[in-house]
Structure 1
Amino acid sequence: MEVDRISMLPDEVLYHILSFLPTQIAASTSVLSKRWKPLWLSVPALFFDDRSYLLNDKPYLYFTKFIYATILTRDVPIRTFRLQCEDSHFNFSVSELNIWVNAAIKRGLENLYIRLPRNQLSWSSCIFSCKTLVVLELVGLEDLDVISFAHLPSLKTLHLIDVAFIERQDLVSFADLPSLKTLDVKDAHFPGRQYLVDLLAGCPNLEYMHLWVIYYDVGCIPCYKNFKSLSKLVRADIHAIGFDIFVESPEFDKYLDDIPLFPNLTHAELMLGFDMSWDLVLAILKHCPMLQNVVLDMQTHYAYYKEPVWISPCCVPECLSSQLRTCDIINSEVKESELHFAKYIMQNSRVLRTMTIWTRGLSELNVDKIELLKELFLCPRSSTICELSFI
């Protein structure tokens, strides 16, 4: 007779195993034996996924009733609450969602994940003032209270994907996220540029920042006086067509000087889209003295967009003199200005190891562009170990 070794494991180990399962499946283990019957009731993580009901053609009401029964009858801590809905016709309300989340908050909630079909629910919640929350992921929600009003003293990781925030005239925009290390914002809509600036200003210990396609209502150019530095930031990925915090204006140079300092940033990936200008790229390099790796994505729509003009700068950013190791230009169309920038990097980067040009197809380049690449290949290099590659 085989020994049931799994059932012999300590309760804490079994709780951990069950925490990875949707709660409905975890509950089904109660029929295995008397040993298993009470275990799922003490698992500190709840995971509600409507797909198990949809696949079995069960009424959606059964799904919401199960959530109520599980949360409201539980007297143990709830460290993780995960709600994932695939059905765009889910029939629970904002008030019901708030009941569930608030019940979890009262039981010491640390990790909250809510993923809904896009634009299906407007949500206003007290979650942005939860003192115990460590990880927050919101996907597909709209009409949220603006995150720049948040007071989340323990939050370390924040993911905002396919979300839209509403303006709050009754509150002063001031984010307080002192413990935040990772910020991931994708396909998000803010009511104004300043709200995004205020959000970043409230993250003094941010280490990783990923901003991808951010939209906001038209408004004045943001003021950076709220903060001058993200001193802990190590990596920044900004892939954001429409991320026009820096705009063309008669005082454009002034706003370039107001870019915050990133004294410890070592890795940056930039796709500036329609805001692309070499002045902006050089200003970013100037404000990143420890930058070691830079990736510049040239993905734009040149049919509607004028190629940025290259003007040789009069000074060399500090990172080029002593730090920059790798430089990648991807989605290159082998424009003249792109190659001028590559020359400038190779001629001034003393410790550069690799310069890589990622084209959209070497075989499709015409004779003139091939000549430009040959000219770049013959360009003198400040670093004796620099390797130039075309891919």
Structure 2
Amino acid sequence: MVMDALLSENDQDCENKDDLISGLPDVVLAQILSFLPSKVAARTSVLARRWKDVWRCVPDIELTCHPDQSASESMAFFATVNHVLSHRTTAQIRKFKLSFYSAGVTELYCIYCWIQHAIWRKVREIDLNVMDVRPFMLPPELFTCKTLVSLKLQSGLTFCVPSLIEFPSLKVLHVIGNVTEEMAERLFSCCPVLEELLIEGYKEDHVAVNLNIVAPVLKKLNIFLESHIGDQIVIDAPECKYICLQFTAKLVVKSLSSVIDAYICLGNCFGRPGGHKPDYSEYVYQLFREISQVQILTLSAITMFTIRFALHQNLSPFPNLIELSLNVEHCEDWQFLPVLLNNLPNLRSLNLQKNTLCDHERDYDWCSPESVPQCLLSTLMYVYFQGLNMREDELKMIEFLLKNGEVLKQLTVMPIHLALEDAEALANRLVMLPRASESCDVECCKDYCTSP
């Protein structure tokens, strides 16, 4: 009892003693608490009388129900959310973020009401993550919310989208989950000021889907789709600066001329001219022509495989490209490198990565360009090669780069799946290769090598 009395007296002293944080205005304290989950922010009410009602003014609501919670804990979560929403004093909700991993009919109805509450409070950002598998009707008011600036829907749910949609202020749209053509068409066509679009998902069936993405002021585009043969994606985004495209579909590019940073993963690893699957190389080359002003470019292994069968096509120059990253599965896919280098007059950094080790790879004879690419003579300063494993064709490729790289400063090689003694032999061999640049430093990193 003596200890309890001392603690009680100490608590009173702390409560009466001014501190810098408690002396701040409510609006500032509420802003600080907005960086915490809503459940944690509400707990600050027990700190002192000064903090009792501050959490009610927090403009952001962030609520998470973890998948390992019991039924009683889940019921407590819903009670907490209802308490938080019903005791708020601020008129506007700036951000409403909800993560819930299993929802029954009653829970889905509660979520429906919570979203409605946020809309009535003129919410600016909604981030909804409900991992379930049943259809879910979002409140119709959501799709005509004039204050909404950011909408992120991540779910296993099938979202039902109404016919009336109007997003006059929406700048950020993320759709992660089951993507339908009807849903996509309605959403994309009703966002006149959309600046960032992310589509990531799958389709329930194998019916061909056409996605028309027309966004006149879009700045950032990410598409990750489990698409199928017969699908078509049309992109018209003349102001877009960044793209990340990962899908297997016919691509029609109407405008992407402003792109400066691109990650491309297009094509099918089984598709080739004359085969049973379509050849996507023409769509890749069409995209190359449209993004010829890009400054940073990354090509996936599937893309490198796809364009290997179209080396006869003319490749447009990339006059502004300064950083290039290439990924391959097999050495044969390096055939495209000389073609690329001849069209990159200002390249400064080259990142090469081989993703796998295949003991049965066919020999590939590195074919040096007839003339030395301009970038090797004047601009290329850094080369990084990950996945080298003592193949003669790859060593010839490195030898060509060293022999002709007149301004090369650093060439770094990271061997993978090599014994330490083999890596040492590789390092010694690389050091002995002739170099056009006297200041070039050759380094062989052995972080992923195995002990003998």
Q: TM-score, normalised by structure 2?
A: 0.65
Alignment equivalent of 1:285, drawn from 341, 348, 362:
341
* Maintained 8 Å contact 2:317/2:344: yes
Residue type of the partner of 1:230? I
Q: Per the alignment, do residues 16 and 285 of structure 1 end up closer, same or farther by CA in structure 2, a change over 3 Å counting?
A: farther
Worse-matched range after superposition: 269-278 or 305-314: 269-278
Structure 2: gaps of 5 or more residues? 1-15, 76-102, 234-244, 272-276, 446-452
Distance in 2 separating the partners of 1:63 and 1:9: 38
Match of 1:83 in 2: 128
* Maintained 8 Å contact 1:269/1:294: yes
* Maintained 8 Å contact 1:298/1:331: yes
Distance in 2 separating the partners of 1:11 and 1:266: 49
Distance in 1 separating the partners of 2:39 and 2:252: 37
Alignment equivalent of 2:311, drawn from 244, 253, 260:
253
Q: Per the alignment, do residues 325 and 227 of structure 1 end up closer, same or farther by CA in structure 2, a change over 3 Å counting?
A: closer
Query: Aligned-residue CA RMSD in angstroms?
Result: 4.3
* Maintained 8 Å contact 2:134/2:157: no
Residue type of the partner of 1:39? C
Kindly provide the CA deviation profile for residues 278-312 of structure 1, in whole angstroms up to 9, marking residues without a partner as x: 22122333343332112111122413543543112
Pairing of 1:145-164 with structure 2 (within 5 A): 145=181, 150=188, 154-161=193-200, 163-164=201-202
Distance in 2 separating the partners of 1:105 and 1:20: 28
Distance in 2 separating the partners of 1:214 and 1:247: 9
Deviation, structure 1 residue 261: 4.5
Worse-matched range after superposition: 217-226 or 281-290: 217-226
Q: Per the alignment, do residues 270 and 210 of structure 1 end up closer, same or farther by CA in structure 2, a change over 3 Å counting?
A: same
Distance in 2 separating the partners of 1:199 and 1:16: 45
* Maintained 8 Å contact 1:49/1:84: no
Pairing of 1:1-391 with structure 2 (within 5 A): 1-3=16-18, 6=21, 9-10=24-25, 13-14=28-29, 16-23=31-38, 35-36=53-54, 38-40=56-58, 43=59, 45-51=60-66, 54=69, 57-59=73-75, 60-61=103-104, 63-74=107-118, 75-85=120-130, 90=132, 93-96=135-138, 99=139, 103=142, 106-116=145-155, 120-123=156-159, 130=167, 132-139=169-176, 141-145=177-181, 150=188, 154-161=193-200, 163-164=201-202, 173-176=212-215, 178-181=217-220, 183-184=221-222, 188-192=225-229, 195=233, 198=251, 202-211=255-264, 218-221=277-280, 222-223=282-283, 224-225=285-286, 228-230=289-291, 233-238=294-299, 240-243=300-303, 246-249=306-309, 252-255=310-313, 257-258=314-315, 261-274=317-330, 277-303=333-359, 305-360=361-416, 363-364=419-420, 366=422, 374-391=428-445
* Maintained 8 Å contact 2:208/2:228: no
Kindly provide the CA deviation profile for residues 100-125 of structure 1, in whole angstroms up to 9, marking residues without a partner as x: 8x617614333333444xxx344575
Kindly provide the CA deviation profile for residues 241-263 of structure 1, in whole angstroms up to 9, marking residues without a partner as x: 434672454xx2234x34x5543
Deviation, structure 1 residue 382: 1.9
* Maintained 8 Å contact 2:268/2:306: no
Structure 1: gaps of 5 or more residues? none
Distance in 1 separating the partners of 2:165 and 2:20: 43
* Maintained 8 Å contact 1:23/1:47: yes
Larger proportion of strand = 2
Distance in 1 separating the partners of 2:421 and 2:183: 46
Q: Per the alignment, do residues 333 and 288 of structure 1 end up closer, same or farther by CA in structure 2, a change over 3 Å counting?
A: same
Q: Per the alignment, do residues 115 and 227 of structure 1 end up closer, same or farther by CA in structure 2, a change over 3 Å counting?
A: same
**Greater relative contact order (CA < 8 Å, ≥ 6 in sequence):** 1
Q: How many residue pairs end up in the alignment?
A: 368
* Maintained 8 Å contact 1:265/1:290: yes
Distance in 2 separating the partners of 1:298 and 1:378: 23
Q: What SS does the aligned partner of 1:57 have?
A: helix
Q: Percent identity at matched positions?
A: 20
Q: Per the alignment, do residues 144 and 131 of structure 1 end up closer, same or farther by CA in structure 2, a change over 3 Å counting?
A: farther
Q: Per the alignment, do residues 233 and 16 of structure 1 end up closer, same or farther by CA in structure 2, a change over 3 Å counting?
A: farther
* Maintained 8 Å contact 2:38/2:62: yes
* Maintained 8 Å contact 1:264/1:290: yes
* Maintained 8 Å contact 1:48/1:67: no
Residue type of the partner of 1:143? V
Q: TM-score, normalised by structure 1?
A: 0.74
Residue type of the partner of 1:309? D
Worse-matched range after superposition: 120-129 or 278-287: 120-129
Distance in 2 separating the partners of 1:213 and 1:204: 18
Q: Per the alignment, do residues 48 and 365 of structure 1 end up closer, same or farther by CA in structure 2, a change over 3 Å counting?
A: same
Distance in 2 separating the partners of 1:146 and 1:341: 49
Kindly provide the CA deviation profile for residues 26-83 of structure 1, in whole angstroms up to 9, marking residues without a partner as x: 567689867436424xx2x554433289366325456545433332124343222222
Residue type of the partner of 2:137? S
Q: What SS does the aligned partner of 2:395 have?
A: helix
Deviation, structure 1 residue 189: 1.9
Residue type of the partner of 1:377? V
Residue type of the partner of 2:171? V
Distance in 1 separating the partners of 2:182 and 2:20: 50
Greater radius of gyration (CA): 2
* Maintained 8 Å contact 1:82/1:112: yes
